[in-house]
């Protein structure tokens, strides 16, 4: 048995507990095969955002290979916050690209024991994170049960429990969760639990059998009806002309349909007589009183939009109440020849139609950023960020105009500084206060 005390490799081996974030690009081979240069340009831009957000959340990237990125965090909460911010920021960038050219990361996060080898980390803690990433949807996040236990009472997230999943070359099944909704109500592409094969197969079989029976019964009823109509038509041709009452009762389905078509809207979806089983007498064409009543109700119904200044105009202010609250997230400035890519986590407030915010920047906090903007009833957003020296009333150093949308508590905007430097603001509604 080797003497570990005299073995240099054993003495230098160090272990620690760490949260590992593993990410790679979905369909990277296809993207590269279609257009290598365009894919690399997009990937490099995404990677800069990725690296900035990892640093902002006090993480460390310890390994990269091709399209894969591995990062280490001392906190499971910060690792998950970083992952959600990354997916939100990259979604905004991807929305500007055609769907088949979007570079979307899949992210897996695991809390486990790892071994240090120089600046690199190794061991099952890293391997499990890499396997969890393969279970995530493009643009989505999967976490292990150990991470879920640490964050479930600390972050406002929604999950799908995928149960214990077996991964290649991982000895023990891993409790796995897919994040479906992030803070502020934003939605992520999420892997959903698999239905039990027996139950799913049985349900599908029952549905298929019901469809076949209904189709067969419908065809049988149709053929019987057509045969009876033919026999009645033949009998009627050998008898004297019928009275108007008799003629009405002997009207064929085809004649009834023609009457309905002449007295109803042209859209066939508003007259599902054959499919619903409603008798012709119940249709507006066959019952003029019903049509008059229907028209009277439509005329008496309130208009969908009240004119501005009317008594109902006060409802418009209520339409903005759903936007009210504190919003927080990354504000990012793109790389230029003179400046690196930078991201800052900031917050602002929406009250009614107005968006406001203010924060200090720079190593000595001598720069003040003042944010103001408007949100429309439909959720369209216009924001202006102005940089001042010293105080909010100080010398104006620069400004950027941002435009975007506010949907489901997610504020996504993009813009350009006057010098041409791109900027993005990706915030989420924070019901618990600014982070």
pLDDT confidence of residue 249: 38
**Band of the pLDDT at 398, cuts 50, 70, 90?**
confident
Region 242-263: mean pLDDT is: 41
287: pLDDT strictly greater than 60: no
Residue with tokens 């990937």: 43
pLDDT in tens, 112-163: 999 998 899 999 999 999 999 999 999 999 999 999 999 988 888 899 999 9
Alpha helices in 95-196 (DSSP H): 124-135, 145-151
C-beta of residue 334 within 8 angstroms of C-beta of residue 421: yes
pLDDT confidence of residue 281: 43
Region 407-433: mean pLDDT is: 83
Task: Give 434's contacts (C-beta < 8 A, 6+ positions apart).
Answer: 326, 328, 347
pLDDT in tens, 296-332: 444 444 444 444 443 444 445 667 787 888 998 898 8
Mean pLDDT of the chain: 77
Task: Give 357's contacts (C-beta < 8 A, 6+ positions apart).
Answer: 346, 347, 348, 349, 369, 370, 371, 372
389: pLDDT strictly greater than 70: yes
Half-sphere exposure of 377 (CA within 13 A, CB side): 6
Domain boundaries in the chain?
13-181, 320-429
The CATH H-level superfamily of 13-181 is Nucleotide cyclase, GGDEF domain (3.30.70.1230)
Q: What is the CATH number of domain 320-429?
A: 2.40.128
C-beta of residue 284 within 8 angstroms of C-beta of residue 260: no
pLDDT confidence of residue 243: 46
**Band of the pLDDT at 10, cuts 50, 70, 90?**
low
434: pLDDT strictly greater than 50: no
C-beta of residue 313 within 8 angstroms of C-beta of residue 322: no
pLDDT in tens, 56-91: 999 999 999 999 999 999 999 999 999 999 999 999
- Here the tokens at position 391 are 């105080």
**Band of the pLDDT at 234, cuts 50, 70, 90?**
low
């Amino acid at each position: 048995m080797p003497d570990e005390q005299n073995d240099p490799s054993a003495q230098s081996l160090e272990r620690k507990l760490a949260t590992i974030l593993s990410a790679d690009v979905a369909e990277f081979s296809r993207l590269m095969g279609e257009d290598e240069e365009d894919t690399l340009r997009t990937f490099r831009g995404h990677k800069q955002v990725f690296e900035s957000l990892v640093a902002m959340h006090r993480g460390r990237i310890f390994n990269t290979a091709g399209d894969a990125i591995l990062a280490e965090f001392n906190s499971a909460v910060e690792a998950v916050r970083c992952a959600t911010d990354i997916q939100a920021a990259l979604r905004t960038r991807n929305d500007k690209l055609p769907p088949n050219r979007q570079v979307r990361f899949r992210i897996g996060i695991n809390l486990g024991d790892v071994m240090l080898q120089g600046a690199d980390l190794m061991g099952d803690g890293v391997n499990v994170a890499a396997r969890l990433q393969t279970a995530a949807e493009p643009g989505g996040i999967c976490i292990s049960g150990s991470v879920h236990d640490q964050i479930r009472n600390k972050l406002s997230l929604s999950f799908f429990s995928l149960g214990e999943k077996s991964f290649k070359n991982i000895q023990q099944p891993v409790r796995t969760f897919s994040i479906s909704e992030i803070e502020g109500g934003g939605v992520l592409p999420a892997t959903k639990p698999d239905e039990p094969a027996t139950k799913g197969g049985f349900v599908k079989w029952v549905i298929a059998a019901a469809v076949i029976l209904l189709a067969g019964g419908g065809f049988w009823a149709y053929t019987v009806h057509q045969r009876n109509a033919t026999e009645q038509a033949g009998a009627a041709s050998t008898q004297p002309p019928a009275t108007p009452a008799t003629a009405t009762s002997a009207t064929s389905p085809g004649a009834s349909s023609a009457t309905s078509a002449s007295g109803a809207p042209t859209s066939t979806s508003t007259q599902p007589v054959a499919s619903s089983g409603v008798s012709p007498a119940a249709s507006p064409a066959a019952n003029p009183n019903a049509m008059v009543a229907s028209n009277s109700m439509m005329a008496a119904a309130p208009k969908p939009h009240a004119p501005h200044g009317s008594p109902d105009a006060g409802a418009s202010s209520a339409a903005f109440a759903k936007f009210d609250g504190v919003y927080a997230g990354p504000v990012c400035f793109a790389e230029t020849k003179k400046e690196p890519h930078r991201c800052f986590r900031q917050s602002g407030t929406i009250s009614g139609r107005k968006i406001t915010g203010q924060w200090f920047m720079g190593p000595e906090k001598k720069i003040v950023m003042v944010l103001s903007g408007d949100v429309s009833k439909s959720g369209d957003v216009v924001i202006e960020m102005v940089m001042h020296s010293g105080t909010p009333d100080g010398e104006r150093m620069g400004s950027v105009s941002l435009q975007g949308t506010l949907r489901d508590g997610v504020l996504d905007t993009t813009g350009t500084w006057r010098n041409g430097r791109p900027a993005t603001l990706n915030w989420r509604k924070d019901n618990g206060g600014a982070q």
